Amino acid sequence: MFKIAKYIALDIIKSKVVMAYTLLLMAICISVFLTDADVTKGLVSITTIMLIIVPLVSVVYATTYYFNAAEFTELLVSQPISRKNILLGKYIGISSSILSAFLIGVGVPVLLFAFGSTGIILILTGSLLTLCFISLAFLASVAMRDKAKGIGLALMIWFYCSIIFDGLVLVFLYALSDYPLEKVLIAITAFNPIDLARILVLLQLDIAALMGYTGALFQDFFGSGFGIVFSFGLLMVWFVVPLIISLRVFRKKDL
């Protein structure tokens, strides 16, 4: 398993796409901190960019690499290696490479310019978000045989989490505006890892007042020690559960 992961990681490190991703994140973070003396505003800007770019690159690159390495996967399956070790090896190799790119591109500038609890929460949240969407990418990849359909499904997952989910929540709130739904919103956020990440970081910046009564409610829950642990736990669920489902599907899949 780890030999497979090492081979894949070394192969990905040579990729110009991952190098460009790392440099892009680093350039954005450094330019944001250098152009704005207010560290809080800089972290808000980085969070907004991170919640768009990180999930998109993670899910698309992982899906594309999985399908491009289909022949390598078939070769491994023909060897006396369990399918579980094959898929976990691929996951560790891909996730370690993309996660390293994030930690270098975002983690290093944040630690240099905005070292503190908020910066560390941002780095941890972005790391978990990366792992979540790589898990979702693997689920989309093993569920589809065709590369185009697999990438299309991966993009739909990102599109749902980034745009569609918020639209559905707005429709839900508008349709049931006569009822107290603030506490229901806390439960709804569990269905979107990007929303969980956004709330975790923004509430650390003490700008919940800008979100009205709902923001105050989120501050009471997610801003507490239990709320933070609960949110990170849900992100771990989004990371682990799709990977477990992918393993089960891959074991039974006819390659």
Helix (H, G, I), strand (E, B) or coil at 254: coil
The pLDDT value given to residue 153: 92
The pLDDT value given to residue 21: 93
The pLDDT value given to residue 213: 47
Helix (H, G, I), strand (E, B) or coil at 67: helix
Tell me the C-alpha distance between 241 and 193, whole Å. 13
Q: How many CA atoms lie within 13 A of 85 on its CB side?
A: 11
Considering only CA atoms, give the Rg of the chain: 19
Under 8 Å CB-to-CB from 80, ≥6 apart: which residues? none
pTM over 0.85? The answer is yes
The pLDDT tens digits of the residues spanning 15-42 come to: 788 899 999 999 999 999 888 777 888 8
In contact, 126 and 201? CB cutoff 8 Å: no
The pLDDT value given to residue 218: 67
The pLDDT value given to residue 217: 62
Closest listed residue to residue 190, CA positions, set 140, 141, 255, 237: 237
Q: Return the sign of the alpha-carbon dihedral for residues 25, 26, 27, 30.
A: positive
The pLDDT value given to residue 189: 81
Closest listed residue to residue 241, CA positions, set 151, 135, 160, 153: 135
Angle between the 39-68 and 117-143 helix axes, to the nearest 10 degrees? 20
Domain ranges of the chain: 2-252
The pLDDT value given to residue 7: 83
> Which parts of the chain sit beneath pLDDT 70?
182, 206-219, 221-224, 254-255
Query: In Å, what is the CA distance from 164 to each residue of 26, 157, 158, 167, 202?
Result: 29, 10, 9, 5, 21
CA 65 to chain centre: 17
